[in-house]
Chains A and B, each alone.
Chain A
């Protein structure tokens, strides 16, 4: 079974600083890759996804993620953090051979300091 590792359950950055949230997966076959965000008291919503093609994927709110096969990673970045980015971020994968199932990481809570 797949496993998804998000390094750092809590990340704190200053407003305007770079945001880097890490995600690594375990599969030897590149899966489909997703980042979801959960704002306080709201449901999860999709930020971006990678299925095929260009490995640098741009999402909503200025976020982007790069699929690196050699590192089995799909880290999420944003050049300049905004207070409204404070939320919990989940990385998820689904296997190309069985995309019935999605495997989620344990989440990273992002705190943005003024």
Chain B
């Protein structure tokens, strides 16, 4: 089927506003990851979902960041009260299970003015 999709592809927002980023994983993939990629830097792990287990939130940089996943399907990453340092590409990846190959979406490019 289709690969991982993310929306929106680009988002410009004002400092202090909340944003919601969406990820649709590959059907049947139980593992879902969110990463942040700042300009010129590598990928920074944010959060991991695996089936019905409690998510691994250890990478979330502050309590302004949260994520949810509905069953084994769509996930949303929410950033509250955005700051300029939140500007980055947010990548979602899904996999068949823990430690399995990750398949990445095209990312959402977030710019906070």
Contacts and interface: CB of A to CB of B under 8 A. Distances in A.
Interface in A41-61: 42-46, 49, 51
Contacts of B45: 101-104
B41 A100 contact: no
Contacts of B93: 44
B33 A102 contact: yes
Interface residues of A, number: 25
Contacts of A44: 91, 93, 104
Nearest to A43: B104
Contacts of B107: 43
A100 B98 contact: yes
A4 B43 CA distance: 11
A24 interface: no
B58 interface: yes
B106 A100 contact: no
Interface in B3-45: 3-4, 33, 35, 40-45
B56 A100 contact: yes
A21 B93 CA distance: 24
Most buried by B among A32, A36, A94, A100: A100
Interface in B33-82: 33, 35, 40-45, 48, 50, 56, 58-59
B41 A106 contact: yes
Given A44-B91, A94-B99, A99-B99, A104 B43 contact: yes
Interface of B: 3-4, 33, 35, 40-45, 48, 50, 56, 58-59, 91, 93, 98-99, 101-107
Interface of A: 4, 6, 9, 32, 34, 36, 42-46, 49, 51, 90, 92, 94, 99-107
